[in-house]
Structure 1
Amino acid sequence: MSKMNRTKIYPALQLLAESETYRVTGGFKIVDRWFQVPLDYFNPRKGSIKIFARNAIPNKKDDDGAAGGKLPYFIYLQGGPGFGCGPPSSHPVTDFLFEQGYQVLYIDQRGTGMSTPISSFTLAKQGSVREQADYVKLFRADNIVRDCEAIRLSLLPEGEKWSVIGQSFGGFCAVTYLSLHPEGLKQVFTTGGMPPLVNNPDEVYRRMYLKVKSRNKVYYEKYPRDIKRVRDIMKYLENNEVFMPSEGMLTPERFLSLGLAFGGHGGIDSVHILVQNAASDLNQFGALTYKTLSSIESHQSFDTNPIYAIGHEMIYCQGESSRWSAQRVLDATSKPSIFSWEDMKEVDETEPVYFTGEMIYQWMFSDFAELHKMEEVAENLAEYKDWPQLYDEEVLAQNQVPVFAATYIEDMYVDCDFARETAGKINGAKEFVTNVMFHNAVRSKTEGVLGELWKLKVGEVD
């Protein structure tokens, strides 16, 4: 594996005039912070972008956060790619870290939230399709890490390090951080976020389809009547043009992509409710109501968070192209494909049609209105192969930063075996491995997962 591209990082410019301080219930002082960083760290002449971060400071003593503001920092790196952070007061991680004696900085990664967000509108400002694609290429984990390091150098006293917790893709970024700038890190925690050290996504998706298949089995065993309901919905969508409230089309493929939720606590139940509501509409009215369509749309975030689609497969690429990996891997499976309505409509009515998972397909850039405007950019990115390295296995093998990783055996999004292989390549990394938690446990079972990681940190292993 070739070496990573490295360059000196300078402190980010704090935009103090745009900073805002306020208090929220529950003992929180919030400082909204804005920073200016280079778009391209290797070519600063390309201009700068703005990065937004919310600083959550304990105010439990009602001292206006005076004591809390002196506490060491934990930064939270959100999963995705493509999602900003929510309000700190709504995330249980905040209180957990407060109790451990930290303040927390929730950073909207570049291109997400309020950090120069990417959309068809903002991309169009970059110029041609080629120029738009070149712009998106700068929004991967390596530059996210450089942003974090620039912010650390700006915000913390000289020589002071901070700690990182990375959820899912945020964990991928944390391992890139360990590879690229370990000098800035005091300790690293990942939750469902140990990345596969691969050069393209093909094997990632081969394993992911197997896990999605097993989650479909659980779904249909729990809700056997949904076999017929889903088939009825498929027939309706095949024979009717169904427009979504915010434009775009609801096709059989788009409906089946709701299986993306299967990997989280409560995900199977949430999809069942959508299926039940849609089937009820068809039974009573022969069409899908606005309310049902709106509910389906609210479960699919590709239009509002387009990096999740256009930038998804590139998070696995190092020196190789993705070439629509999820679609190619699916096409290579035996027929009839259990994930295809086109195939399954020809088999026995009692056979279930399987939902797909966290995969990105070319058809999405036709069915989703916002993504459709970025179709050519997505094609350009899928064929691009000169991706820089995201991880340095030599540096990881010599790692001196304490690392604590939560790995979920039943994780539908981050393969457990890949995760454990990577953890094994990081010197000193300690793992909490469980089969009773799912991918979103850091939010749904915060005390459980972070409590176990903290035991590893303090040495409680018996």
Structure 2
Amino acid sequence: MTAKLIDRRFHNVPGKLRVSELFFDVPVDYSKPAGETLRLFARSIARKNTPIEPTDESKGGKLPWLVYLQGGPGFGCGTPQSYPWVDFILSKGYQVLFLDQRGTGLSSTITAGTLARQGDAIKQAEYLKNFRADNIVRDCEAIRNILTNDYPADQRQWSILGQSFGGFCAVTYLSKFPEGLREAFLTGGLPPLTSGPDPVYAKTYGKSTYVLFKNLHADEQTEKVKQRNEAYYDKYPEDVERVKRIMLYLHENKVKLPSGLLTPARFQQLGILFGFHGGVDTLHDIVVRVCNDLDIFGFLTLPTLATIDGNGGMDKNIIYAILHESIYCQGKSSLWSADRLRSNDPQFTITDSVPAIYFTGEMVFKDMFESYSELAELKDVAQILATTDDWPALYDEAQLAKNTVPVYAATYIEDMYVHYDLATATASKIKNTKQFITNNIYHDGLRSKSGEIMRQLFNLREDTID
């Protein structure tokens, strides 16, 4: 068995959409198709209308599919109507499939509790090795074969839209199953074709990390995390002392959050907000709220703690925390890359010798498996995965070099998560790739600037060579 459709139910979003909720069973390990299975969840949507004249679809024609691959790793999809680009895609004549990738959303959700059913830490780590992009795209192919089973043979390919990590999955798809694809749209999602995360973090942390990587040059470094910190402190210079005060308070006091402990390092992780439009202002609001609590009460109130907790979320997205560095690994272990590089830079530590304490980005750190109660249960599992070096290849550069599937990629010069230099280098290695490059959109452009992004991608699609 490769995949089986278990259940399918339809309902309407008034005046807008025809929604189908689907459940599938797929193998945990595709090399063992008769073994343990996973339950996957997806929603499909199409326009709900009653035309005056019969359309091709009402005559029995088939709408082409576009599959949305969510960012992450470890995040499920929202409701279809919550995505601002949906109307644009539907207007182009697609029906859209929103797939909760394995282990996320309603697709056999990974938590410390569900993992415990696998046995000890070694068995849990072995199980989690099946939750990377290679198996996500195998799931996609298995589902495609089901949903297009009654399509004409020449119409069974589908399109994919990959945001962030979803774009990484799309390039894996192009490497392993290009025959299943009509076209690929990528937004902030051209992956670095590296064997591990070290070169990635060297590009995003700052110049001091270059002592570790002799093949990288400081004059090419754009220091995205540091740039965003500097932009934050330039806009809110009063926050330099506020942040130092907060970090000292957290260092001297044990502060509990609903999901664990608010350590200085965990507060720094709010820097992940810098990758989004409005993130600088959101972090400033949090800093002001914390300092206001300390001024008035001398401790942090529940609303403040809830706000901080709500902007973390690692405990609710286990895969993001535990497999984040492995999404870069091909035949090499990560060895807690972000931890090692952070320790090289005093700007990320609590010290009076630096003019300002910097926030970190979207990296995952070893101390997260102490400050989050849920992650603490998986500390041994995380250590096993961080030292694993037998990760299979995710990308086939030879296949990408002869790729025939049209690829349309939105690439952001100011992207703090997917570095522009590395993304552009990858684009040059994928034949039939067209890029829309911009310097005024951040990583969440598909949501924050969806109209511009979709318009530009389809301009690339509909353009001709002159």
| TM-score normalised by structure 1 residue count | 0.93
2:379 is the alignment partner of 1:375:
yes
Q: More deviation in 40-49 or 184-193?
A: 40-49
Distance across 2 between alignment mates of 1:283 and 1:374: 37
Name the SS of the counterpart of 2:348 in structure 1.
coil
Distance across 1 between alignment mates of 2:394 and 2:182: 20
Alpha-carbon shift at residue 447 of structure 1 (Å): 1.1
Question: What does 1:3-22 correspond to in 2, within 5 Å?
Answer: 12-16=3-7, 19-22=8-11
Distance across 2 between alignment mates of 1:332 and 1:393: 32
Distance across 2 between alignment mates of 1:143 and 1:369: 28
2:347 to 338, 342, 351: 338
Paired residues in the alignment total 441
Distance across 2 between alignment mates of 1:314 and 1:45: 27
Query: What are the ranges of 5 or more consecutive residues in structure 2 without an aligned counterpart?
Result: 206-222
1:389-439 CA distance string (max 9 Å, x none): 000000001100000000000000001111111111011100000001110
Alpha-carbon shift at residue 60 of structure 1 (Å): 3.9
2:366 is the alignment partner of 1:362:
yes
Question: What does 1:163-182 correspond to in 2, within 5 Å?
Answer: 163-182=159-178
- 2:184 corresponding residue in structure 1: 188
Residues 230 and 353 in structure 1, CA contact (< 8 A), matched pair in contact too: yes
- Inter-CA distance 234–26: structure 2 relative to 1 (3 Å threshold): farther
The percentage of counterpart residues that share the same residue type is 50
- 2:291 corresponding residue in structure 1: 279
Distance across 2 between alignment mates of 1:26 and 1:330: 51
Alpha-carbon shift at residue 93 of structure 1 (Å): 2.1
- 1:211 corresponding residue in structure 2: 224
Name the SS of the counterpart of 2:108 in structure 1.
coil
Alpha-carbon shift at residue 25 of structure 1 (Å): 3.2
1:233 to 246, 250, 261: 246
Residues 27 and 62 in structure 1, CA contact (< 8 A), matched pair in contact too: no
Distance across 2 between alignment mates of 1:61 and 1:287: 59
1:361-414 CA distance string (max 9 Å, x none): 111100011111110000000000000000000000110000000000000000
1:279-307 CA distance string (max 9 Å, x none): 11001110000000000000011000011
Residues 57 and 69 in structure 1, CA contact (< 8 A), matched pair in contact too: no
Residues 11 and 154 in structure 1, CA contact (< 8 A), matched pair in contact too: no
For residue 13 of structure 1, what is the amino acid of its counterpart? Answer: K
1:316-374 CA distance string (max 9 Å, x none): 000000000011122234xxx11112xx2x326xx211100011111110001111111
- 1:126 corresponding residue in structure 2: 118
For residue 62 of structure 2, what is the amino acid of its counterpart? Answer: K
1:26-58 CA distance string (max 9 Å, x none): 511110011111110012243111111100111
Question: What does 1:412-423 correspond to in 2, within 5 Å?
Answer: 412-423=416-427
For residue 50 of structure 1, what is the amino acid of its counterpart? Answer: R
Question: What does 1:280-429 correspond to in 2, within 5 Å?
Answer: 280-333=292-345, 337-341=346-350, 344=351, 346-347=352-353, 351-429=355-433
Distance across 2 between alignment mates of 1:11 and 1:129: 28
- 1:91 corresponding residue in structure 2: 83
1:202 to 198, 221, 229: 198
2:61 is the alignment partner of 1:48:
no
2:63 is the alignment partner of 1:71:
yes
- Inter-CA distance 281–50: structure 2 relative to 1 (3 Å threshold): same
Distance across 1 between alignment mates of 2:310 and 2:26: 33
Name the SS of the counterpart of 2:437 in structure 1.
strand
| TM-score normalised by structure 2 residue count | 0.92
